[in-house]
Amino acid sequence: MVRTMTNYPIAEVFRSIQGEGFHAGKPVVFIRFSGCNLIPPCRWCDTDHSLKETLNANQIYDRVDGLLQKGDMVVLTGGEPFLHDLEDVLDRLTCGNGARWVDVRVAVETNGTLYETQTAKTKALIDWMTVSPKQGYLLVAKEAIRNASEIKVVYGDYDPAKLEPFIAPRLFEESLCYIQPCSEDFQPALEYVMRHPEWKLSIQLQKVLNIR
């Protein structure tokens, strides 16, 4: 049986720099998926992930191909990317690419609550997974947290100490756990990091530079 190609709700596809976490400052092509499964939405969320168009994996590949430069990463973000079966788009981006793409890495940014819904193939095709766990959803996100490439917590959502029992020790050992201010007032997050040096401070470079 021929597998029907998935259509994805897309907010935007664009090239910019990664503003947060481990890859901050790196040029990337963002694929922003529409929709989020957290209701009500996070009080500090200012991301427009409303539906703008519907694209299949081939159309997304073509859009990314027109933007991608040598050395870029591709980042699937949202909203919440794991609301959707990502196997088609990841397979197209990582396995169906031309020679120019041979070294491209594909990352996913997620709240972690729907990681278990993804296929084993999808999980294997993700090169880097940024997990930003949210208040009240730590237990349901625990598999994603333990398999994360990095952890990013918006300071002020909850005490990051509540998250620590779920975090794999390697993430602390490799300094891959980030505290991020929820506004332009960096001081509370900075003070937390100074008291808890196992965490690192991450600021939103895109806001500092006034870019997407």
Q: Which of 66, 117, 120, 122 is nearest to 94 (CA)?
A: 122
Query: What pLDDT score does 86 carry?
Result: 96
For residue 102, what pLDDT is reported?
A: 64
Q: What is the pTM of this model?
A: 0.93
Which residues are paired to 154 by β-bridges?
Answer: 180
Report yes or no: 144 and 168 within 8 Å, Cβ to Cβ. Answer: no
Q: Using DSSP bridges, classify how beta strands 7-17 and 53-56 pair: parallel, antiparallel or unpaired.
A: antiparallel
Do 78 and 33 form a contact (C-beta atoms < 8 A)?
Answer: yes
The pLDDT, as a whole number, for residue 1 is 47
Regions of the chain where pLDDT drops below 70: 1-3, 44, 96-102
Q: Please give the pLDDT value at position 101.
A: 64
Say what the pLDDT of residue 42 is.
77
For residue range 53-108, list pLDDT tens digits in order: 999 999 999 999 999 998 999 999 999 999 999 999 999 998 755 545 667 899 99
Buried/exposed 170-196: b ≥16 CB within 10 Å, e otherwise: ebeeeebbbbbbbeeeeeebeebbeee
